[in-house]
Each structure stands twice: as structure tokens, then as C-alpha cells.
């Protein structure tokens, strides 16, 4: 695909996914990308993140990149304002859906070999630390508390999301059995259960409304299936070269480089080139 040159409104926002997009496979942001993001914002652009990660996991990136614009967290379930240090929007999985997962967890775990993580009030819980969960903890650099299933049932309200870790085939089979829930694969081995009707696209629409922007002023970039709705909504939807094939199908264009080749620089270059000398990107 090629860049759609019919979009003449200057791009003011870059909304970037984190894993597989901003970060390389070593979970690092190169010094050059850091510098280019700083320069982009100094010139008047707006940069923010849209991720499935929790605030605990994203906080180091907020500090590293000096982010000041609202961020989309938990795949759209929360919007966080780093300047006010508060959530502007919060959505929760319905108690009936949470209870259904809890009631079926042991029968689910054995045949499908799935590990469960529960996100509640900025804490993460599980019933046991398996090698698979430990690998996820190491990647995300977060703390996870071990709790009994009965203990989980006591926090069934205000759960932001639930996450199942397992083999891709098992997750696909299980996802087909719970079509009544709002689920998305955020990585090949992660299935997330989100509040009903919530995704990165619904959160991006809220962010656009909050800032008085227009979709055509927004470039959104991602690499996996949890980015589909966001990519569709943005006036400029971009898929990484390393993205899932289904995401590439809905994107306006695809980067030449991968996340390991600083593809985000390619995106910043494109946005800055879209500006004219008369353009002054100030939020209305």
C-alpha cells in the first residue's frame, strides 16, 4: 500500500502502540527514537501511547519520553493523564463476565493449559506463578500478587481486564467458546478479556473528542490485532512491517522497516514532512 496523498489536513498526533511498535524485541527504545520524539513534540507535534499494558508497566516510558498527553491503557479500558496523574476514563469488565471466567477457570486451565491474570485497581493477581507468567512478568517489569481463587472472587468488581496466557492454538479454541465476551489477541500467546464494547478504537475516539481534534489529524500505528479498531478510526492508520497480516489489510500504509529497524522514525519523518511552514499544531 502507498500513502494516501488525498489527506491534506496536517497530522498533529502520533498515537503509537508499545510492544512490537515503539519497543524493539529487546523491549528497548533506541536513543535515536527518543531524540526524534522529543524533537517532534518540541516542534509542536503531539505524541502518545495506546497499549494493552497497565500504568505500572508504562510508567517508565512516560518518564523516559517525558510524555504529557493522555495515554490509552489496558487496550482502551482506561485513559490516563500524566500531568494530573489521574485516570480520565475507566471501564470495567462486568461482574457477570468476571464470575463466569472464575467459575470455569479450573476446567479451562487443564484442557487448554491456560494461565490467568487479573487486573484490579492497578494491581495484578494470579493464583500461581507459572514459568509462562514469570516470562511475562520479566518482559513487562511488573509485580504480580499470588492470591487464591476465593480471594479473586472477592475482587470481582472493578476489574479492568483479564488475561489468558497460552499456546496460540489453545487460545484460539478457547476464544471461540467465549464469543459472548469482548476478547482480543494482543500477542500471539495472549488473549485479553475487556469491558464490553471497549477497544483501542473507542478510546481513541474519546481522546480525539477530549482534545478537540479530528480523525484526519491523527496517525495511529500498531502491529497486532488489538490495534485494528484504532487503525481503522485514525485518519492515517499505519501497520508496522512486522505487523500481523490482518492488521496490514486494514492499514492505509505499511512501514518499510520493522520495530527492530527504528520504523517509528519513518513515521515521524512522514508526519513532519506533512507540515507546511504556515502550520502551527496547537490544540484548539
pLDDT reading at 279 higher than 70:
no
Give tens-digit pLDDT for 15-34. Answer: 999 999 999 999 999 999 99
Instruction: Report pLDDT for 256.
Output: 98
User: Which residues share a beta bridge with 16?
Assistant: 49, 221
In a domain, 128, yes or no: yes
Q: How many domains are contained in the chain?
A: 2
Instruction: Report pLDDT for 4.
Output: 47
124 with 244, same domain? no
In a domain, 265, yes or no: yes
Q: What is the CATH number of the domain that holds 44?
A: 3.40.50.1000
Three-class SS state of 61: helix
In a domain, 1, yes or no: no
Of the residues 174, 194, 214, which one is the last residue of a structural domain?
194
Instruction: Report pLDDT for 7.
Output: 47
136 with 221, same domain? no
153 with 244, same domain? no
145 with 268, same domain? no
Of the residues 194, 225, 255, which one is the last residue of a structural domain?
194
C-alpha dihedral, 172 to 178 to 183 to 185, nearest 10°: -10
Residues 6 or more apart whose Cβ sits within 8 Å of residue 9: 214, 216, 217, 235
Instruction: Report pLDDT for 107.
Output: 78
- The upper half-sphere exposure of residue 195, i.e. CA atoms within 13 Å in the direction of its Cβ, equals 24
Instruction: Report pLDDT for 281.
Output: 47
In a domain, 52, yes or no: yes
Whether the full predicted model's pTM is greater than 0.85, yes or no, is: yes
Average pLDDT of 104-112? Answer: 79
Compare 108 and 72 and report the one with higher pLDDT.
72
In a domain, 279, yes or no: no
In a domain, 2, yes or no: no
Three-class SS state of 139: helix
101 with 189, same domain? yes
In a domain, 84, yes or no: yes
Instruction: Report pLDDT for 275.
Output: 87
Residues, the chain, total?
Answer: 284
pLDDT reading at 284 higher than 80:
no
Domain with 78, as residue range(s), is 13-91+198-274
Of the residues 129, 164, 194, which one is the last residue of a structural domain?
194
Instruction: Report pLDDT for 250.
Output: 97
What is the helix (H) or strand (E) element at residue 15, kind and residue range? Answer: strand 13-16
24 with 162, same domain? no
pLDDT reading at 65 higher than 90:
yes
pLDDT reading at 205 higher than 60:
yes
18 with 153, same domain? no
99 with 122, same domain? yes
In a domain, 188, yes or no: yes
99 with 190, same domain? yes
Give tens-digit pLDDT for 226-249. Answer: 999 999 999 999 999 999 999 999
182 with 207, same domain? no
pLDDT reading at 276 higher than 70:
no
Sign, Cα dihedral of 125, 92, 199, 106: positive
pLDDT reading at 280 higher than 70:
no
**DSSP assignments along 188-245, one per residue:** TTEEEEE-TT--HHHHHHHHHHHHT--GGGEEEEESSGGGHHHHHHSSEEEE-TTS-H
Average pLDDT of 108-127? Answer: 90
Is residue 102 very low, low, confident or very high in pLDDT (cuts 50, 70, 90)?
Answer: confident
Q: What is the CATH number of the domain that holds 114?
A: 3.30.1240.10
Instruction: Report pLDDT for 2.
Output: 41
156 with 218, same domain? no
240 with 270, same domain? yes
Compare 10 and 107 and report the one with higher pLDDT.
10
Average pLDDT of 175-186? Answer: 92
Amino acid at each position: 500500500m502507498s500513502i494516501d496523498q488525498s489527506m491534506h489536513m496536517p497530522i498533529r498526533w502520533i498515537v503509537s502502540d508499545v510492544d512490537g511498535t515503539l519497543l524493539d524485541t529487546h523491549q528497548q527504545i533506541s536513543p535515536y527514537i527518543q531524540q526524534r520524539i522529543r524533537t517532534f513534540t518540541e516542534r509542536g507535534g503531539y505524541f502518545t501511547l495506546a497499549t494493552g499494558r497497565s500504568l505500572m508497566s508504562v510508567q517508565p516510558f512516560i518518564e523516559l519520553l517525558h510524555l504529557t498527553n493522555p495515554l490509552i491503557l489496558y487496550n482502551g479500558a482506561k485513559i490516563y493523564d500524566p500531568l494530573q496523574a489521574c485516570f480520565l476514563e475507566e471501564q470495567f469488565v462486568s461482574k457477570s463476565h468476571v464470575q463466569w471466567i472464575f467459575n470455569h477457570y479450573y476446567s479451562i486451565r487443564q484442557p487448554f493449559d491456560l494461565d490467568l491474570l487479573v487486573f484490579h485497581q492497578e494491581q495484578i493477581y494470579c493464583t500461581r506463578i507459572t514459568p509462562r507468567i514469570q516470562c511475562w512478568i520479566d518482559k513487562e517489569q511488573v509485580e504480580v500478587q499470588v492470591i487464591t481463587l476465593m480471594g479473586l472472587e472477592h475482587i470481582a468488581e472493578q476489574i479492568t481486564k483479564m488475561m489468558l496466557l497460552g499456546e496460540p492454538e489453545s487460545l484460539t479454541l478457547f476464544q471461540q467458546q467465549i464469543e459472548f465476551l469482548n476478547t482480543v489477541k494482543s500477542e500471539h500467546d495472549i488473549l485479553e478479556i475487556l469491558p464490553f464494547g471497549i477497544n483501542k478504537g473507542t478510546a481513541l475516539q474519546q481522546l480525539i473528542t477530549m482534545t478537540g481534534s479530528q480523525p484526519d489529524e491523527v496517525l495511529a500505528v500498531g502491529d497486532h490485532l488489538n490495534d485494528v479498531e484504532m487503525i481503522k478510526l485514525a485518519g492515517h492508520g499505519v501497520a508496522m512491517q512486522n505487523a500481523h497480516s490482518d492488521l496490514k489489510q486494514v492499514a492505509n500504509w505499511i512501514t518499510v522497516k520493522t520495530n527492530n529497524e527504528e520504523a517509528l522514525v519513518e513515521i515521524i519523518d512522514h508526519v513532519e514532512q506533512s507540515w507546511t511552514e504556515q502550520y502551527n499544531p496547537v490544540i484548539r
